Amino acid sequence: MSNDVNQSRRRFLTATTAVVGGAGAAAAAVPFVASMSPSARARAAGAPVEADISKLEAGRRVTFKWRGKPVWIVNRTDKMLADMKTLEGTLADPNSEAPQQPEYTQNGTRSIKDKYLVLVGLCTHLGCSPQFRPEVAAEDLGADWKGGFFCPCHGSKFDLAGRVYAGVPAPTNMVIPPHYYIDDNTILIGEDGGNA
């Protein structure tokens, strides 16, 4: 009989040790598993950004930061829009056939509303930040320059829709991020919306 008591006691001690050990291992694993999830700062870096364009004057540009990249919003004038139409023969991808934009901006102005251009402010060649050069026939850019973006790193040129000129180092048009209008004066950058 003494063997039966010892066996019962052994089973009890083995089960108790296994339960306590398992609970300890689970408690020790919680901080490690929690450290693998992204921080609040990392989650915020990829979050959509609201852009207020109520004070953006015609012919001007404003910059917002989204996912660590500059996003430009340009309020194009009627003259800028008209001048863009004369450039089609000088552009590498005038119809935006390369997938650099959401479907709802795959048009001649590469925008939801013709007046406002929303694009990532980085050259598609090596990621430099082009200069906003809205002036027409700038001396250093030639008589055929109708305004746009010029990358001083290697000389790539883009029109006021972010479409790349033919014969420059940049291989594709500038990137249009997902976005939509919350109302007439607010754009949400980083999400596709219902009214896009």
Residue 2's pLDDT band, with cuts at 50, 70 and 90, is low
Mean pLDDT taken over the chain: 86
Contact at 8 Å (CB) between 137 and 143? Answer: yes
Q: What is the CA radius of gyration of the chain?
A: 28
Same domain, 101 and 80: yes
Both 24 and 52 in one domain: the answer is no
In this structure, is residue 196 part of a structural domain?
no
Reported confidence tier of residue 123, pLDDT bands at 50, 70, 90: very high
**pLDDT reading at 4 higher than 80:** no
Q: For residues 66 and 19, state if they share a domain.
A: no
Give the contacts of 152 (CB within 8 A, at least 6 positions apart): 128, 130, 131
* 8-34 confidence digits (pLDDT tens): 888 888 889 988 888 888 888 777 777
Q: Same domain, yes or no, for 107 and 60? A: yes
- Within-domain flag for 9: yes
The pLDDT-based confidence of 40 (bands split at 50, 70, 90) is low
Counting the structural domains of the chain, the total is 2
Distance CA 129, CA 59 (A): 19
Any domain includes 194: no
Do 92 and 15 lie in a common domain?
no
Identify the H or E element spanning 24.
Answer: helix 2-35
Yes or no: say if 187 and 116 are a contact pair by the CB < 8 Å rule: yes
* Residue 61 and residue 81 in one domain: yes
Same structural domain for residues 107 and 131? Answer: yes
Q: Where are the beta strands (DSSP E) in the chain?
A: 49-52, 61-66, 69-75, 116-120, 131-133, 148-150, 157-158, 179-183, 186-189
pTM, whole model, 2 decimals? 0.74
Question: What pLDDT, on a 0 to 100 scale, did the predictor assign at position 196?
Answer: 44
Mean pLDDT of 109-130: 92
Looking at the predicted structure, is the pLDDT value of residue 150 above 90? yes
Looking at the structure, do residues 31 and 56 belong to the same domain, yes or no?
no
Whether residues 127 and 69 share a domain: the answer is yes
What pLDDT shows up at residue 14?
86
pLDDT given for residue 79 in this prediction: 94
Per-residue pLDDT averaged across 54-82, rounded?
A: 94
Does one domain contain both 75 and 26? no
* 75 pLDDT more than 60: yes
Are 55 and 140 within one domain?
yes
